Amino acid sequence: MTDSITFGRFISLRRTEKGWTQLRLATELNRSEAWMSQVERDLQQVQDVPLLRLLADALDVGVDTLMTLPQPAAKKANRSPRRRVSSATLTTTSGAEEDDVRRRPFLTLAAAALFAPVAGQQAAQAEPAPPLSGLEDLLLYGAGRIPAPRREPTRASVAESVVVSRREFKAAKYDVLAQALPGRIAAADVVGTAEERARTVAQLYNIAVRLCIKIGDNNLVAVTADRALTAARLGGDPLITAEAQRMVSSAWRRQGSLARATDIVVVAADDLLADTSVPEASRLATRGDLYATAAYTAAKAGDRAYAHSLITEAADSAAAAGRSSGLVDGIQGVGLHEVSVHFELGDAGRAIETARTIDPAALPTAERQARFFTDVARAFDQWGKPEQCYRALLAAEEAAPQELRRGAVRDLAAGLLRHDRRLPGVRDFAARAGVQIV
């Protein structure tokens, strides 16, 4: 290492060697692309030791190496908002699905949600829901109103945009995702063959549906789900099509057509299982996802027997996929759906029993972690246990602060205000969740 190379220059070289874009590296650090650009141009210091460890981990270098490189003159860091990560919980990890949420104290969160005494929560600024105006413009007027990309899109950049979009959703970075998705969809629609374009656009629209569900915009859920399925059918990939059918089912469910919503995913699951062009493990795993969605919808309709039958089928499919591929992600997903099924059927105690069999450390993303604790909170609320409900909501906020924008969390927080004197900090929490307090 020569003395002439700067910190920013070294970061840029290592990132280029890995074949990553600035956006990819910024996402690994839970920072913005603009912040990453400033670092590489030696306009932004990185003195925070936990952040240096994350950076060293992402670039496969020693943290001591980074600490010896010259940085720009000391000035107050201009940091982008991000989730708090304790330096005590940072460890070296690897894998394509790396996420800072894996470095969080999952078991501590679980204990806090289910067993620990209520404590006050640190104050935080309530954040508005991420704007979806860009997605609305894309759906209504096409790409003409979307700002042109800074660089000409390529097959590689479009493929990476799908990976990054999934990662942002899993990390519950809904504001970043809402801003970036319209441009990514527009870029994907002009690169590659007709089938390639359709497949990539379908994948991005599938992510857009899930984002709209998080934000609670039912109108956009229906429109984006339709776009996803239309593109998926043109693209001809059975797995992408099955996911789009699951999104369409969610749209029907949110409009109150529960029987139709259930039928859509059950038929999709059976059709996929018969498609031998797809590897068996993938067919089984996706079938498990589809049946889990169907079980949740059947439970919302109050069909107890059908819901239990479907969630059992989902678990069997996920387990079979895990045995043949070594993957357990589908099994975890079915477990989360089972908690929701019991809640929707009014079996709060059984929902909590099921939740206690789920190891939060095995939930690999912030979104899934927060969804688990939110469902636990709903079950405790149904059971008439406000303190446990509040603890679970605090754990959900710790895992993914932007999950507080969800309507389910806001409704629970509003209900908890009745217990203000027993729950320290609940008024501040309710305000962070967007409850209007008078």
Domain assignment present for 25: yes
Rounded Cα distance, 68 and 53, in Å: 13
Length of the chain equals 438
Instruction: Give the amino acid at 265.
Output: V
DSSP string covering 315-364 = HHHHHHHHHHH---HHHHHHHHHHHHHHHHTT-HHHHHHHHTTS-GGG--
Residues 135, 246 share a domain: yes
Residues 136, 215 share a domain: yes
Q: Which two structure tokens, joined as six digits, stand for 52?
A: 């240096």
Residues 138, 238 share a domain: yes
Domain assignment present for 106: no
Helices (H), 255-328: 258-273, 280-300, 304-325
Nearest residue to 131 via CA among 81, 179, 82, 164: 179
pLDDT at 73 (0 to 100):
60
pLDDT at 130 (0 to 100):
56
Residues 250, 171 share a domain: yes
Question: How does pLDDT run across 91-135, given as a tens digit for each residue?
Answer: 333 333 333 333 333 344 444 455 444 444 444 444 454 578 899
Domain assignment present for 261: yes
Residues 62, 153 share a domain: no
Question: How does pLDDT run across 132-185, given as a tens digit for each residue?
Answer: 889 998 998 888 878 777 789 999 999 999 999 999 999 999 999 999 999 999
Domain assignment present for 412: no
Residues 229, 155 share a domain: yes
Looking at residue 169, the DSSP 8-state letter turns out to be H
End-to-end CA distance of the chain: 61
Rounded Cα distance, 430 and 413, in Å: 5
Of 48, 82, 116, at which residue does a domain stop?
82
Give the count of domains, the chain. Answer: 3
Query: Per-residue confidence at 68, pLDDT binned at 50, 70, 90?
Result: confident
Residues 150, 40 share a domain: no
Residues 366 and 170 sit within 8 Å (Cβ to Cβ): yes
Looking at residue 69, the DSSP 8-state letter turns out to be S
Question: Average pLDDT in the 28-47 region?
Answer: 83
pLDDT at 80 (0 to 100):
37
Residues 334, 321 share a domain: yes
Domain assignment present for 12: yes
Sign of the CA dihedral running 71, 73, 74, 79: negative
Residues 162, 73 share a domain: no
Nearest residue to 293 via CA among 339, 332, 246, 257: 246
Q: What's the gap between Cα 68 and its chain centre?
A: 36
Rounded Cα distance, 286 and 362, in Å: 19
Residue 296 has pLDDT above 80, yes or no: yes
Residues 62, 27 share a domain: yes
Of 317, 345, 373, at which residue does a domain stop?
345
* Residue 8 or residue 125, greater confidence: 8
Q: Mean pLDDT across the chain, nearest whole number?
A: 83
Q: What's the gap between Cα 102 and its chain centre?
A: 13
Domain assignment present for 164: yes
CATH at residue 31: 1.10.260.40
Name the region of 63 (left: φ>0; alpha: ψ -120 to 50; beta: rest). Answer: alpha
- Domain region containing 34: 7-82
pLDDT at 330 (0 to 100):
65
Residues 21, 55 share a domain: yes
Name the region of 437 (left: φ>0; alpha: ψ -120 to 50; beta: rest). Answer: beta
Of 27, 55, 82, at which residue does a domain stop?
82
Domain assignment present for 362: no
Residues 176, 68 share a domain: no
Domain assignment present for 374: no
